[in-house]
Amino acid sequence: MARFFEISDTFTKFGLATVFITNSILIYLTLFHIKRIIGVYKKMIIVVAMMGITFSSTELIARPFVHSFNKGWIFFSLNSWLETSQSVLQIALAVYASMYLLMMSFIAVQFLFRYFTLTSPRTAKRFEGKGMIVWLTYPVIIGFLYGGPLFLFGLPDDYGDEYFRQEILNAYGLAIKDVARFPIIAYGPDGSLRPGVFFILSGAAVMILQYAIIIYCGVRMHLMMSREFKNLSVPNKKLQKQFFRALVTQTIAPTVLFVFPAAYVLMSPLLDIEMNFQTGWIYAALSLFPPIDSIALMCLVSEYRNVIKHLFRELCCISPKVPDIELRSST
């Protein structure tokens, strides 16, 4: 019977194929058919869709997996098809880890933009022009702040290799010296703090910052909608509500699929409890995030639904009917 880590490659390939199809459709529709989503938000949708494809492609190269063992966990690569050095695969692992935080921080940026669109249109205008450099750079910095510390605090050493050596051999049939890896261990044999603690704390801080932005903007948007919507037309009210619901769904999906289980894995070494299990299934679940993100947007925003129905009718030669296009939103 195949063990999960042996079939995880199938999940990775399925995720890449799915995200390539769904995100390509989203990009095509946004560029050539969607009329009411314009300006900055249109660019954001396209950038996020491209990030999703890049994220899944990176996963195929990195083949990330995690094994949790007592006061530590090891983040390593199961890539067996790319004949390259461990350093290259370590970089791929770090880029993969960075890409997830990059995408989450981009959702935070979208929340900020939608929040300012409702509460301070003048501030929202700053996202245009040169402001694009800022909102494109911020996610990259956040991603670097997560992936970079892997090389500062997670590089292999003799203690880490010896700590995980037998577990990696027993569970995966691999010699630890032959695996691209980042062993994260909270405490040394004498109870002293190891560098892994600093990676755990820095990673948690970066993640908490993104959720603080998302929660603050989300709550404020929800509370202020009824008041601000008095000045909007009915079509724009509907559109803003759809954007808000899409953003909430795009946040909940990775939170349930990855953040909740990953938070336990990330922080568990600090608890110094006895455990020994494969936690790499988290990455299989995470591979579903990019396509869910795009599908949620296309399902919740009515113009996408209408255009898809229209194109489907044309494709099937069923009395094509042009979807009703309402007034453009200024955002």
What tens digit of pLDDT does each residue of 276-317 get?
888 877 777 777 788 888 998 999 999 999 999 999 888 887
pLDDT of residue 325: 45
Q: What is the DSSP letter of 193?
A: B
List, in order, residues 6 or more apart from 307 with CB less than 8 Å away.
29, 33, 34, 323
What's phi and psi for 64, nearest 5 deg? -70, 145
| Burial classification of residue 166, based on how many CB atoms lie within 10 Å of its CB (0-12 exposed, 13-18 middle, 19 or more buried) | exposed
Query: Do 295 and 22 meet the contact criterion of CB atoms below 8 Å apart?
Result: yes
Provide the token pair at 154: 């997670």
Provide the token pair at 76: 């390593």
pLDDT of residue 158: 95
**Average pLDDT value for the chain:** 86
What is the residue extent of each domain of the chain?
4-315
pLDDT of residue 234: 54
Nearest to residue 51, comparing CAs of 12, 98, 6? 98
pLDDT of residue 264: 79
Q: Give the global pTM.
A: 0.85
Does the domain at 4-315 match CATH 3.40.50.300? Answer given as no
pLDDT of residue 227: 65
In this prediction, the residues of the chain whose per-residue pLDDT falls under 70 are 1-6, 226-236, 318-331
| Rounded Cα distance, 257 and 115, in Å | 25
| CA 122 remoteness from chain centre | 29
